[in-house]
């Protein structure tokens, strides 16, 4: 059975939420059209009443590339779902050296529960649209709904796995392997249907050379040189520095094994 709710909410205009009440126990993610976030977003964890309540307190934003969402040591007063675009999470040393410690793609949840101060910066890498909720509301909901915490635990565990994968890349891979791994990761995030055998696809790079360098622990010159090498070796093709077509980078990216 599928119930349909109508709610007039700020920022969304009149929205239609289709809530399938039977899917909860089956473990199938609930579709939340109010924020278009699925799978990993928070909405899937809530029942119909909560969804209506959430829609009423949520608000949609669009953010220009380069705008800071959460500053280091700033108080965080809201949580958000990323609806589109890419958000980069950065940390920096006092002398300005910077490291990107995470990228958040479409249905990811943005925010660090149980900590008032953020230890990292969040910045829009591309144009980003967000669906934000007041901190207090999410935290109350978390206390009331164990399913929401369960969701968050799963996403956090995934982010931990990703962070640890990147530690291997940062600590043990060569510049060439780093760039190849990066392109592969972006490809997998932008085109989830990517064939794991051929690994051939085509996409717009969401990051500048400077961002890629900050992500891989390299300089922009090294990133540029490695990209030209991949181009001359025939492993990638590029138009206008942003659009990339990758073919078989898997071997170069360095497989992890026993």
Partner DNA sequence: CAAAGGCTTTGACCGAAATCAAGGCATTGG
Partner DNA sequence: CCAATGCCTTGATTTCGGTCAAAGCCTTTG
- Residues of this chain that bind a second copy (CB under 8 A): 71-73, 89, 91-95, 97-99, 101-102, 112-115, 119-120, 146, 149-150, 152-154, 156-157, 159-161, 163-168, 170-173, 216-217, 254-258
175 binds DNA (CB under 7 A): yes
Cβ of residue 85: shortest distance to DNA, in angstroms?
A: 16
User: Does residue 26 contact residue 45 with C-beta atoms inside 8 Å?
Assistant: no
**Whose CA is closest to 54, among 114, 106, 132, 112?**
132
Of the candidate spans 11-19, 77-85, 142-150, 173-181, the one that interacts with DNA by CB under 7 A turns out to be 173-181
Cβ of residue 136: shortest distance to a second copy, in angstroms?
A: 18
Cβ of residue 83: shortest distance to a second copy, in angstroms?
A: 23
Restricting to residues 215-254, name those near DNA by CB under 7 A: 217-225, 227-228, 238, 240-242
State how far the Cα of 245 lies from the Cα of 200, in Å rounded to an integer.
7
Strand-pairing partners, residue 131, are 60, 81
Give the tokens for residue 159: 């982010």
**Whose CA is closest to 214, among 92, 85, 64?**
92
Residue 101 three-state SS:
strand
State how far the Cα of 129 lies from the Cα of 82, in Å rounded to an integer.
6
Closest CB to DNA among 157 and 167? 167
Interacting residues toward DNA by CB under 7 A: 174-176, 208-210, 217-225, 227-228, 238, 240-242
């Amino acid at each position: 059975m599928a119930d349909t709710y109508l709610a007039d909410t700020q920022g969304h205009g009149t929205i239609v939420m289709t809530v399938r009440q039977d899917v909860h126990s089956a473990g199938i993610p609930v579709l939340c059209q109010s924020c278009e976030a699925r799978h990993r977003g928070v909405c899937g964890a809530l029942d119909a009443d909560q969804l209506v309540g959430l829609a009423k307190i949520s608000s949609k934003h669009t953010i220009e590339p380069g705008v800071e969402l959460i500053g280091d040591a700033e108080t965080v007063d809201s949580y958000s779902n990323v609806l589109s675009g890419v958000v980069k999470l950065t940390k920096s040393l006092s002398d300005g050296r910077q490291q990107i410690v995470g990228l958040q793609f479409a249905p990811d949840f943005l925010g660090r529960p149980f900590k008032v101060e953020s230890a990292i910066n969040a910045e829009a890498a591309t144009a980003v649209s967000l669906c934000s909720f007041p901190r207090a509301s999410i935290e109350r909901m978390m206390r009331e709904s164990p399913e929401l915490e369960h969701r968050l635990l799963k996403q956090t565990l995934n982010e931990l796995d990703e962070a640890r994968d990147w530690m291997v890349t940062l600590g043990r891979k060569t510049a060439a392997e780093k760039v190849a791994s990066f392109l592969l990761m972006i490809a997998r995030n932008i085109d989830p249907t990517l064939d794991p055998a051929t690994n051939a696809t085509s996409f717009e790079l969401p990051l500048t050379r400077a961002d890629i360098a900050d992500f891989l622990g390299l300089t922009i010159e090294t990133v540029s040189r490695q990209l030209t090498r991949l181009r001359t070796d025939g492993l990638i093709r590029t138009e206008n520095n942003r659009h990339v077509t990758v073919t078989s980078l898997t071997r170069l990216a360095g497989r992890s094994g026993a």
